[in-house]
């Protein structure tokens, strides 16, 4: 599969998207074979979804982005704190912050084995994997989370927790989980307005509250480290005016390479979650997805998206009482 494509926005339904955010995403993605999804984390509103056919597909192996779910599970279970050093063989040891920043596979394989499949799967489902992320988004597919641990010949629970082996995750599922991290623990149904009327009548819908508020500071240092000095440092080549926290993912399946990057802007205004997913050949990998996200943040910044006092696209809707659905 080629890492490049033309006409990927054909068929996208855009009438309910924020035009500034959408254009920033299109310009950043360029001719790469991928999708960009931008979400307002305080409401679950999808502000832009570029290449909707891919964004709403059955997903792909999450690669190292699965480490966010595993890290939250380990923190929740008290297996580690951000400073706990885990032995990785020989004299090598590493803590959670460095393991997230550098996406260390051995560290997360060790966490997976300590947690065991049942706990890993429980938290993955709690954070939205294996279920639709959207509320009545036409065409959205489910992804897949195995009902039992993958065979040891394929790496068992360790590879599930380091590379997402055996798992299929959608950009919307990853975006919903990162939105919950960004907002302090509310897992919203993602909603994609398709008309001005739907924007006017938009109301957030809460899927469930996640007990992660106390864990986010333990996680955020590693996500910030990924951007400052780790696997996502390409982002900083394009944008460094605001703090961005994120996680990359790179792997391949059946000859196709995947590049993931999920992030959010840690600012007092203009909060936004950006998920970039790429597929193709050698030019496709997580750091390239981070570079694209950096271009998008740059475009948004240049359009005053992060200036305090500037209304964000979902301010009006987010100020209404949230509605909870079963």
Mean pLDDT of the region 302-324: 57
Residue 322 pLDDT more than 90? Answer: no
Indicate if the pLDDT at residue 100 is higher than 70: yes
Residue 259 inside a domain? The answer is yes
Is residue 3 domain-resident? no
For residue 231, being part of any structural domain is answered with yes
Within 8 A by CB and 6+ apart from 105, the residues are 64, 162, 163
Q: Is residue 38 part of a domain?
A: yes
Instruction: Give the CATH number for residue 142.
Output: 3.40.710.10
Please report whether residue 9 resides in a domain.
no
Count of domains for the chain: 1
Name 261's bridge partners.
248, 276
Does the residue 90 lie in any domain?
A: yes
Q: Which tens digit of pLDDT belongs to each residue from 80-96? A: 999 999 999 888 999 99
Q: Is residue 192 part of a domain?
A: yes
The residue-averaged pLDDT of 176-183 equals: 97
Residue 297 lies in a domain: yes
The model's confidence at residue 18, banded by pLDDT at 50, 70 and 90, is very high
Q: Residue 296 contacts by C-beta under 8 Å, 6 or more apart in sequence?
A: 24, 25, 27, 28, 36, 38, 274, 276
Segment 277-297 mean pLDDT: 98
DSSP 8-state code for residue 75: H
Q: Which domain holds residue 263?
A: 19-324
pLDDT tens figures, 136-167: 999 999 999 999 999 999 999 999 999 999 99
Q: How far apart are CA 39 and CA 314, in angstroms?
A: 10
pLDDT at site 32: 98
Average pLDDT in the chain: 93
The predicted structure's pLDDT at residue 270? 66
pTM assigned to the model = 0.94
User: Quick one: pLDDT at residue 323?
Assistant: 44
SS3 111: helix
> Which residues are registered as beta bridge partners of 323?
205
| Cβ 130 vs Cβ 143: under 8 Å | yes
User: Does an H or E element contain 97, and which?
Assistant: helix 96-102
């Amino acid at each position: 599969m080629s890492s490049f494509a033309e006409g990927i926005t054909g068929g996208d339904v855009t009438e309910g998207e924020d035009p500034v955010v959408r254009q920033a995403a299109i310009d950043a993605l360029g001719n790469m074979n991928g999708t960009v999804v931008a979400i307002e984390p305080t409401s679950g509103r999808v502000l832009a979804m570029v290449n909707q056919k891919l964004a709403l597909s059955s997903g792909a192996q999450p690669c190292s982005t699965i480490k966010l779910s595993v890290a939250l599970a380990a923190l929740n279970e008290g297996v580690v704190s951000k400073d706990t050093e885990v032995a990785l063989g020989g004299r090598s040891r590493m803590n959670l912050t460095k393991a997230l920043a550098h996406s260390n596979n051995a560290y997360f394989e060790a966490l997976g084995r300590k947690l065991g499949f049942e706990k890993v799967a429980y938290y993955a489902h709690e954070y939205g994997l294996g279920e639709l992320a959207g509320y009545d988004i036409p065409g959205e597919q489910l992804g897949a989370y195995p009902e039992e641990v993958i065979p040891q010949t394929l790496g068992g629970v360790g590879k599930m927790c380091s590379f997402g082996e055996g798992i299929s995750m959608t950009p919307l599922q990853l975006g919903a989980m990162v939105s919950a991290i960004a907002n302090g623990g509310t897992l919203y149904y993602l909603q994609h307005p398709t008309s001005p009327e739907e924007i006017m009548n938009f109301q957030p819908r809460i899927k469930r509250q996640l007990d992660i508020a106390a864990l986010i500071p333990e996680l955020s240092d590693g996500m910030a480290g990924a951007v400052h000095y780790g696997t996502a440092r390409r982002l900083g080549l394009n944008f460094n005016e605001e703090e961005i926290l994120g996680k990359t993912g790179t792997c391949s399946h059946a000859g196709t390479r995947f590049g993931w990057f999920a992030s959010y802007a840690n600012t007092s205004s203009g909060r936004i979650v950006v998920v970039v997913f790429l597929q193709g050949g050698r030019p496709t990998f997580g750091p390239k997805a981070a570079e694209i996200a950096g271009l998008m943040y740059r475009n948004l910044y240049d359009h005053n998206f992060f200036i305090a006092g500037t209304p964000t696209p979902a301010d009006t809707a987010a100020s209404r009482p949230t509605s909870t659905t079963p």
